[in-house]
Amino acid sequence: MTVSHSPFTATVLGLPRIGPNRELKRAIESYWAGRADAEHLRAVARSLRAAHYAELRAAGMDSVPVGTFSYYDQMLDTAVLFGALPPRVDAISDPLDRYFAAARGTDTVAPLEMTKWFDTNYHYLVPEIDAGTTFALHPDKLLGELAEAIELGVPARPVVIGPLTFLKLAKSADGPALDRLPDLLPLYRELLAGLADAGARWVQLDEPILVTDLTEAEIALVRDTYTELSAASDRPAILVATYFGHPDAALSALADTGIEGVALDFTAGTDPAAVAAVPALARKLVVAGVVDGRNIWRTDLDAALTTLGTLLGSADAVAVASSCSLLHVPYSLTPETGLDDRLRSWLAFGAEKVDEVKVLATAITEGTTAVATELAAARAAAASRRADPRLHDARVRARLTALDESDLTRSPADARRALQHEHLDLPLLPTTTIGSYPQTSAIRLARAALRKGEIDEAEYVRRMRAEIAEVIALQERLGLDVLVHGEPERNDMVQYFAELLDGFAATGNGWVQSYGTRCVRPPILFGDVSRPTPMTLSWIGYAQSLTDKPVKGMLTGPVTILAWSFVRDDQPLADTARQVALAIRDETVGLEAQGARIIQVDEPALRELLPPRASDQPAYLRWSVDAFRLATAGVADTTQVHTHLCYSEFGEVISAIAGLDADVTSIEAARSHMEVLDDLNAAGFALGVGPGVYDIHSPRVPSVEEITASLTAALKAVPAERLWVNPDCGLKTRGPVEVEASLRNLVTAAAALR
């Protein structure tokens, strides 16, 4: 069998879709609101795709990914492609509405679950596949986008999630979804034949699952799957793309098959020498991901050329690429006029990454002299970055060097518990909330007015204080035991701190899709981090001045700040984490000095940064736990430290939860029916715990009976002395009426049980 293909030299693995100015977000939301029809939405989508293709062509990409466009999510698109939407949406006849129903739910239909795409901040929809799923090919979207691209003269390379990744990430009610592989593979073959027919020379099958730990049986499946898919002759050349890590044993398995190319992520620890040593790659195209697709730093072109040089000696051909889809970075630096020139010169967003790919491809095809100017500019930028004093704050570094284990350690938990019991004088089963109260339109309007210069800082502070006063009064009225200030001043729980800490910069238009139409603008952590001034003291102090009950100081933890920022790549993440932790520690100490008796440091992202390979996980858990302890261990034993974790399936991080040594941990549990408490007990956890007694993700008001049932279940696993009563998560997305009703029931249930 021979598939005729000529290799390409320069590409990216996938494209963002939300639009350089979030045009798609607006079009989709207008469609949802009934303000625009499907035709308008399609037209916006088409013009965004066309503009993107044109840019990639102009930048010299000789192979262009097609099909990574999505109205919501690529895993959902793959489920549609293979007819694998759950039967509960079948009744919705319009395909677009059915698609959005699967994504977001309706009044009567529950959506697919959503979860993080590997260790990125993108969320995908989890396909539901079980023994009853009947696969059927629906290639219209992909074929349509392919035809459209070919029409535009684009060297189109259709991109599809590969069968192993699709099934491994799906959830199933009855046995592993991967068992359905034999039923799915014929559809992939049919799809490949259809794509070849339609004029595709190459197809890219994304298999990021290959960078996770696979069993030997699964590695065998890799070999069998791609042997089978490559056996056909009526197909495009197959590129299997891996990213976010190194494929290890899966690489040899792939190389043994008849596929024509493999994409590898050299920004995530894949060793070029190890790749060069795989003999079967001598007959393949290696698509070398040397331009980091998920961080925003300018590429070290010399280092990339060294990697490419190693590969050129052994592969049949080498193409230069981004390490993964450009979905994870903002579109372009062009609108970022607010960044200082030096910082700006160190960065590369999507458009600049495409240019870097081209420069590197030119260097290997025509020689480095052809790109001497570009190489010199990259070196100058790197030198300016290395020499910048903001990256080497002697004071921060000296403080960190002076720390030892005692700075991370508090007295034994039991001793603290006794002291805090006296100091706080709380009832049994104390009631509290996670931090935020509804972000009302008054709050959003005030923020917008401040941004537009319609009100001054003093007026903004006045309005936020009015919100705080209301939230305190509400909590007093409800009879909660530990109060919060409600977080009205936080635009976002990470951005708020990034704006106040040294070492961070904010972009003006650096939007990245988080899920669906939700976009975030992650801050850039570029230098040594420190806290020049207090960040929360005046808000918390004001709240405390209004009540005799304890008000929790409320902070975001170091790991979460890292996870939701673009982080510097010139030092280990663990070192950056210590700097952020030290800055947060300064704030905890400041809060305590001001009289705070309880301080909560949220770490909802602790699990997100967990590396995909088990062998890398212990080191991560060590430094992330240490960072939390550094941030929180500077306070007296009488001060109660709380943390909040935003999930209930702890998995590999369960042992770390106890390691955090927080006096009280609030977690999600309402949806997992308190099983999480048994997991915690099994891991030896013996600190205070507040399993969420109702699910804040839905507008439903839980009844007193339901909350009592949750608490009764919790009391089977945890003694009353350790149990706290709180909702699942912050209340910022909920409406004021339902919040008041829900919390009233929560307080009633707790009081009755006491």
Q: Which does 435 bind (CB under 5 to 8 A by kind): ligand GLN, Zn ion, none?
A: ligand GLN
| Sole window of 128-136, 320-328, 474-482, 727-735 interacting with ligand GLN (rule: CB under 6 A) | 727-735
Q: Does 580 bind Zn ion (CB under 5 A)?
A: no
Among 81, 159, 512, 729, binds ligand GLN (CB under 6 A): 729
**How far is Cα 473 from Cα 546, in angstroms, rounded to an integer?**
8
**How far is Cα 140 from Cα 145, in angstroms, rounded to an integer?**
8
Token pair belonging to 629? 């302890």
Report the residue number whose CB is nearest to ligand GLN.
730
Please give the residues from 591 up to 650 whose contact with ligand GLN meets the rule CB under 6 A: 602, 604, 644, 646
Minimum distance, C-beta of residue 745 to ligand GLN, in the bound complex (Å)? 19
| Sole window of 145-153, 431-439, 504-512, 647-655 interacting with ligand GLN (rule: CB under 6 A) | 431-439
**How far is Cα 268 from Cα 375, in angstroms, rounded to an integer?**
23
Number of chain residues interacting with ligand GLN (CB under 6 A) = 13
Q: Does 524 bind ligand GLN (CB under 6 A)?
A: no
**How far is Cα 241 from Cα 247, in angstroms, rounded to an integer?**
10
The contact mask relative to ligand GLN for 641-660 (x = CB under 6 A, - = no) is ---x-x--------------
| Sole window of 20-28, 215-223, 449-457, 638-646 interacting with Zn ion (rule: CB under 5 A) | 638-646
Is 328 an active-site residue? no
| Sole window of 24-32, 288-296, 446-454, 726-734 interacting with ligand GLN (rule: CB under 6 A) | 726-734
Is the CB of 259 or the CB of 471 nearer to ligand GLN?
A: 471
Q: Does 543 bind ligand GLN (CB under 6 A)?
A: no
**How far is Cα 17 from Cα 68, in angstroms, rounded to an integer?**
8
Q: Are 510 and 349 in contact (CB under 8 A)?
A: yes
For residue 16, give Cα distances in angstroms to 9, 114, 391, 677.
Answer: 21, 19, 30, 40
Number of other residues whose CB lies within 10 A of the CB of residue 719: 8
Residue showing tokens 């704050």: 393
Please give the residues from 691 up to 730 whose contact with Zn ion meets the rule CB under 5 A: 729
Residues in the chain, total: 754
Minimum distance, C-beta of residue 607 to Zn ion, in the bound complex (Å)? 12
Q: Does 493 bind ligand GLN (CB under 6 A)?
A: yes
Minimum distance, C-beta of residue 645 to ligand GLN, in the bound complex (Å)? 8
Among 19, 139, 350, 435, binds ligand GLN (CB under 6 A): 435
**How far is Cα 723 from Cα 706, in angstroms, rounded to an integer?**
17
First-to-last CA distance in the chain? Answer: 75
Minimum distance, C-beta of residue 487 to ligand GLN, in the bound complex (Å)? 6
Nearest to 689 by CA among 710, 716, 720: 720
| Sole window of 31-39, 386-394, 470-478, 640-648 interacting with Zn ion (rule: CB under 5 A) | 640-648
**How far is Cα 394 from Cα 379, in angstroms, rounded to an integer?**
25
**How far is Cα 495 from Cα 538, in angstroms, rounded to an integer?**
18
Q: Are 583 and 400 in contact (CB under 8 A)?
A: no
Is the CB of 16 or the CB of 435 nearer to ligand GLN?
A: 435
Is the CB of 379 or the CB of 444 nearer to ligand GLN?
A: 444
Residue showing tokens 């607010």: 338
Token pair belonging to 261? 């190319």
Q: Does 730 bind ligand GLN (CB under 6 A)?
A: yes
SS3 letters for 269-331?
A: CCCHHHHHCCHHHHHCEEEEEEECCCCCECCCHHHHHHHHHHHHCCCCEEEEEECCCHHHCCC
Minimum distance, C-beta of residue 605 to ligand GLN, in the bound complex (Å)? 8
Q: Does 669 bind Zn ion (CB under 5 A)?
A: no
Q: Does 408 bind Zn ion (CB under 5 A)?
A: no
Q: Which does 493 bind (CB under 5 to 8 A by kind): ligand GLN, Zn ion, none?
A: ligand GLN
Is the CB of 194 or the CB of 692 nearer to ligand GLN?
A: 692
Q: Does 646 bind Zn ion (CB under 5 A)?
A: yes
Burial of 652 (0-12, 13-18, 19+ CB in 10 A): middle
**How far is Cα 576 from Cα 70, in angstroms, rounded to an integer?**
35
Amino acid identity of 149?
A
Is the CB of 245 or the CB of 435 nearer to Zn ion?
A: 435
Binding residues (CB under 5 A) for Zn ion: these are 646, 729
Binding residues (CB under 6 A) for ligand GLN: these are 434-436, 487, 493, 554, 602, 604, 644, 646, 729-730, 732
- Point out the residues that are catalytic: 697
